[in-house]
């Protein structure tokens, strides 16, 4: 998996991706991260990338030219000079489809993904029409830029790429896998602050443990995520 992030703040991407599980996956050459500074592509003599909006209103927009030239350069580095193929290009925006585990699963099969991170009030619509293949949001809120959403998506996608997690980590059944939240879990000591670990977990009876965990998942999902619970009931009728 090769990520290419078009941004005005490449250090923000490089810093976050160099640590922990991501850092290891990069060292192992399972994933690669290339943060490209859109500012390097501006033709403006003062290195400006933003401008006022036609029609007025507050705020500045990123201009089409640096974004387009940056995207051309990144695409060329992936595909070579002549290829007509389009590289998956995700514009991170609150105006997109909301990112979820299923989308992460689908994207984890790509060889290359370009993330376009906006700043200011957004990007000139004409260049978006030319380069963007997917508009993706991470939720209904506004941030100062698209870098954090891009990092969130890369984190989520990367842990689905074979070899990024070790066997123990990936074998773990987890929330969203089957459309239910994870059951409660406990480690030593057996009693903490007068609270005892549920007896069934100490019984060694694997069928009973499985049954208890599934029941707990149902109870927890109904309580905390009634939307997910209703969907699960509908699917498993």
Sign of the C-alpha dihedral, residues 159, 161, 166, 170? positive
- Alpha helices (H) in 31-119, listed in sequence order: 64-79, 101-107
Neighbours of 71 (CB within 10 A): 23
What minimum distance in Å lies between the beta carbon of 61 and ligand 4FL?
A: 12
- CB burial class (10 A; 0-12, 13-18, 19+) of residue 225? middle
Give me the least distance between CB of 142 and ligand 4FL, in Å please.
5
* Beta carbon nearer to ligand 4FL, 100 or 215: 100
| Count of residues that interact with ligand 4FL, criterion CB under 6 A | 13
If one asks whether residue 94 binds ligand 4FL (CB under 6 A), the answer comes out as yes
| Separation between Cα atoms, residue 117 and residue 91, nearest integer Å | 7
Binding of ligand 4FL at residue 134 (CB under 6 A)? no
- Among residues 37, 65, 77, 137, the one that binds ligand 4FL under rule CB under 6 A: 137
Residue 198 binding ligand 4FL, by CB under 6 A: no
Residues 6-45 vs ligand 4FL: string with x where CB under 6 A? ----------------------------------------
- The b-or-e profile of 117-144 (16+ CB within 10 A means b, else e) is bbbbebbbeebbeebbeeebbbeeeeee
Dihedral of alpha carbons 186, 188, 192, 195, sign:
positive
Nearest-angstrom CA–CA distance, 203 and 208: 9
Structure tokens at 183: 């059951």
- 128 vs 138 by CB, closer to ligand 4FL: 138
CB of 97 to ligand 4FL, least distance (A): 10
Task: Give the contact letters, 145-164, x = binds to ligand 4FL (CB under 6 A), - = no.
Answer: xx--x---------------
Applying CB under 6 A, the residues found at the interface with ligand 4FL are 92-94, 118, 137-139, 141-143, 145-146, 149
């Amino acid at each position: 998996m090769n990520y290419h992030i078009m941004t005005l703040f490449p250090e923000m991407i490089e810093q976050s991706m160099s640590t922990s599980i991501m850092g290891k996956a990069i060292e192992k050459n399972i994933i690669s991260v290339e943060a490209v500074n859109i500012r390097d592509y501006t033709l403006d003599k003062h290195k400006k990338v933003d401008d006022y909006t036609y029609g007025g209103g507050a705020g500045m927009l990123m201009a089409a030219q640096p974004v387009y030239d940056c995207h051309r350069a990144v695409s060329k580095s992936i595909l070579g000079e002549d290829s007509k193929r389009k590289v998956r290009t995700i514009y991170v925006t609150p105006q997109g489809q909301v990112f979820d585990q299923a989308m992460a699963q689908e994207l984890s099969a790509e060889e290359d993904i370009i993330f376009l991170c906006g700043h200011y009030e957004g990007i000139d619509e004409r260049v978006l029409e030319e380069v963007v293949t997917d508009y993706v949001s991470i939720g209904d809120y506004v941030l100062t830029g698209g870098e954090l959403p891009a990092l969130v998506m890369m984190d989520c996608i990367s842990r689905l790429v074979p070899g990024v997690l070790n066997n123990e980590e990936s074998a773990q059944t987890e929330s969203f896998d089957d459309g239910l939240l994870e059951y409660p879990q406990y480690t030593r000591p057996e009693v903490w602050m007068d609270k005892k670990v549920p007896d069934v977990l100490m019984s060694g009876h694997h069928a009973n443990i499985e049954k208890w965990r599934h029941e707990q998942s149902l109870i927890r999902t109904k309580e905390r995520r009634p939307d997910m619970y209703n969907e699960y009931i509908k699917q498993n009728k």
